[in-house]
Amino acid sequence: MKMLNGALASAIFYGVSSLAIMGVNKMVLTGYAFPSASVVALCQMVLTILILPLAKQLKIIEYPDISSNIVRKVFPLPLLFLANLVTGLGGTKRINLPMFTLLRRSLRAINVAWIAFVVGS
């Protein structure tokens, strides 16, 4: 039961933080007319790089130490993540938040369906 509560708390935290990040990004990029989505993306990545090791030291989260083996296995993913982040923030600036949320959620479902089709599971 404890694991279920932890998983539920993690899912709720993920959902709330995801909505908060989208709302803040939309507010910064359109409400304050911030000119560069790339700068917002860079700031978010730098903060993530600083916060994750701190959270690991405080034993809030656990993840394996980085190694060259892990880097080789996941190499193209950071580039795809960066492209997704920059294009997503650029899209946030150009369309309204409900439409952006709909597109983002539906594209994830389409990606999962495509991967299931390709992998065959």
C-beta neighbour count of 25 within 10 angstroms: 21
Q: What rounded mean pLDDT belongs to the chain?
A: 80
**Residues 40 and 70 occupy one common structural domain:** yes
How many angstroms separate the CA atoms of 41 and 47, rounded?
Answer: 10
Domain membership of residue 99 as a residue range:
32-120
Asked if 87 and 94 touch (Cβ cutoff 8 Å), the reply is no
With CA atoms as reference, report the closest residue to 37 among 76, 93, 113, 84. 93
**Residues 20 and 56 occupy one common structural domain:** no
pLDDT digits (tens, 9 = 90+) for 72-95: 888 888 888 778 777 777 766 677
**Whether the model pTM is above 0.75:** no
pLDDT digits (tens, 9 = 90+) for 100-119: 777 777 877 787 787 777 77
Q: How many domains does the chain have?
A: 2
**Residues 69 and 104 occupy one common structural domain:** yes
How many angstroms separate the CA atoms of 4 and 79, rounded?
Answer: 34
